[in-house]
Amino acid sequence: MRTFRLLFKDKKFAVIFLASICMFLYYLSFNYKVSYYDEIGYIGISKNILAQGLFNINESLRTYLYPLIISCISIFTNGDIAVIKIGMSIFQYLFYVYTICLLGISFYEFCNKKIVCYGILFFGLLNPYLIQSSTLLLTDLMSACCVILALVYLVFGDFDKNKTYLMIFTYSYIGTMIRPSAIVFIPIIIVLLTIRKIIIKDVNILKSLVFCVSALIIFFPQLYNNVKQFNDWTPLLHADLYDFQSNLAASNLKYGTVVIPNENAQLFFPSPYLLDSSESNIFKLIFTNFPAFILAYSSHLFGVLDWGYIDTYIKDYYPISRIIGSLFLYLFWITSLYGVYFFIKKNELKSGRFIALSFLCSFILYWGFIGTTIIESRFGYPLFMLLLPFSGWSIQYCMDYWKSENINKSLKVKKAIKYSLIFIIVILLTFYLSFLLDYQTGRINWLGF
């Protein structure tokens, strides 16, 4: 808490936070007035919870926790949806800011380098995609924040305290109940706890089991409603959305949602290979049409990192924000990947190795898993947060290199120019691939615009 108080007195943080708030208010001014598709669905469930109670939900496509949070917010409003959305947006934004700040502070306390913390805060709090998402009634941002908080406690927590075990499992379960795809992180967290026990030897197995089991109470309302409404003994969704999405993943490279007047809301990015999604899924392609599988899966892996339009609900096919947002994102990926290399190279301590293992393995496993679905840009939010810490390390390394008196200044300039040219080429190539992916919709043609 002391570090939190010091952070909020820091002038550099104040500038970043003020810019972040301005961006939040900008997107909120547009998004609070109207709700679309999934947002309307969550509002409807929240009203049912208030009218009929938590244990009378008849819903096969959405879990209970996110609508429950909306219900709790709406209690303190006059019932106007716009007011509820403003309240929920403020809550989501503050939760997102808390997550980024805790991540930055945790790494600062680990390495005692302010630049690392500033780098995390800069990329984390000024990401227009995440800020925009905080003003929508969608589950992606909150679920991603819960996953990161669970990992932060796992990596940096004091395992002599019961609170650490409680936070790890509570946040991981809450993230899953907000967005079921986050369940992929639960086995990852359990494995990482086991590895920490082996490497650092400070994990109490009995406490881990006790809190792992006791925190399962979070799943009970979902399990109860599934049994009551559908006679289905599952603590997740009654509907098999993963099977549905893996089928669509075979014939589509990406998916988006459009709210442009007179335009079809479903924006599919079809594969050049003509496939019937009702007869094949992404896994069957491995054996029936391997080139189609390679194209689809690689496009999914690329697309979940290339978020394209800042607005989750696309309002314009050719906004300048598409270019600005993508440029910010590409710079982040390049910076973070360089930071990963630097972090692994410079950290030989067990704690440093465990940090790299925790965040990178989580990134790789989730990336591989989500690539088997028909991806939307917002599916990549956890990936961004998992690599976010390494962006700060990259900036720290560059500043240390530039300040070093042992290296000739002309050599520094030459190296800076060399890497700048490489980065520009990589960014231009990525833009080309991104625009080529957009072209597959048959409705967007940046290359000929």
Q: How many CB atoms lie within 10 A of CB 353?
A: 15
Are both 263 and 387 inside the same structural domain? no
Q: Tell me the C-alpha distance between 92 and 136, whole Å.
A: 9
Are both 19 and 155 inside the same structural domain? yes
pLDDT for the residue 350? 79
pLDDT tens across 92-102, in order? 999 999 999 99
Q: Considering 303, 324, 354, which residue would you say is the last residue of a domain?
A: 303
Tokens found for residue 301: 């892996």
Are both 214 and 254 inside the same structural domain? no
Q: Considering 303, 333, 357, which residue would you say is the last residue of a domain?
A: 303
Are both 292 and 324 inside the same structural domain? no
Are both 57 and 111 inside the same structural domain? yes
pLDDT tens across 343-401, in order? 888 777 778 889 999 999 999 999 999 999 999 999 999 999 999 999 988 888 888 77
What's the mean pLDDT in 272-285? 75
Q: Which candidate, 188, 165, 168, 173, places its Cα nearest to that of 221? A: 173
267, containing H or E segment:
strand 266-270
pLDDT for the residue 25? 97
Average pLDDT score, the chain: 92
Res 275 pLDDT > 70: no
Tokens found for residue 77: 């409003």
Are both 60 and 124 inside the same structural domain? yes
Res 413 pLDDT > 60: yes
Are both 265 and 318 inside the same structural domain? no
Contact by Cβ (8 Å): 314, 378: no
Is 444 contained in some domain?
no
- Banded model confidence at residue 449, pLDDT cuts 50, 70, 90: low
Q: Considering 256, 271, 303, which residue would you say is the last residue of a domain?
A: 303
Q: What is the pTM of this model?
A: 0.94
Is 443 contained in some domain?
no
Residue type, 119: G
- Banded model confidence at residue 7, pLDDT cuts 50, 70, 90: confident
Q: Tell me the C-alpha distance between 374 and 282, whole Å.
A: 9
Domain that holds residue 291: 241-303
What's the mean pLDDT in 137-162? 96
- Banded model confidence at residue 118, pLDDT cuts 50, 70, 90: very high
Domain tally for the chain?
Answer: 2
Q: Which candidate, 305, 323, 314, places its Cα nearest to that of 267? A: 314
| CA 98-99-100 angle, 5° bins | 95
* Pairing of β 313-314 and β 266-270: unpaired
pLDDT for the residue 416? 83
Are both 23 and 75 inside the same structural domain? yes
Backbone region of residue 63 per phi and psi (left: phi > 0; alpha: psi in -120 to 50; beta: other values):
beta
Are both 267 and 351 inside the same structural domain? no
Contact by Cβ (8 Å): 269, 440: yes
Contact by Cβ (8 Å): 68, 46: yes
Is 373 contained in some domain?
yes
SS3 label, residue 254: strand
Are both 155 and 12 inside the same structural domain? yes
| CA 446-246-379 angle, 5° bins | 55
Q: Which candidate, 344, 318, 395, places its Cα nearest to that of 124? A: 395
Q: Which residue has the tokens 């109670």?
A: 53
Are both 154 and 181 inside the same structural domain? yes
Lowest mean per-residue pLDDT among 71-85, 246-260, 276-290: 276-290
Tokens found for residue 349: 């301590």
Neighbouring-strand partners of residue 268: 255
Q: Which residue has the tokens 């925009």?
A: 132
SS3 label, residue 15: helix
- Banded model confidence at residue 408, pLDDT cuts 50, 70, 90: confident
| DSSP letter, residue 310 | S
CA 420 to the chain's CA centroid: 28
For the beta sheet containing 266-270, the strands, ordered from the edge strand earlier in sequence to the opposite edge, are: 266-270, 252-258, 313-314
User: CA distances (Å), 285 to each of 53, 277, 289, in order?
Assistant: 44, 11, 5
| CA 342-363-288 angle, 5° bins | 125
Are both 319 and 354 inside the same structural domain? yes
Q: How many CB atoms lie within 10 A of CB 291?
A: 10
Contact by Cβ (8 Å): 97, 52: no
Is 345 contained in some domain?
yes
- Banded model confidence at residue 342, pLDDT cuts 50, 70, 90: confident
Is 419 contained in some domain?
no
pLDDT for the residue 183? 96
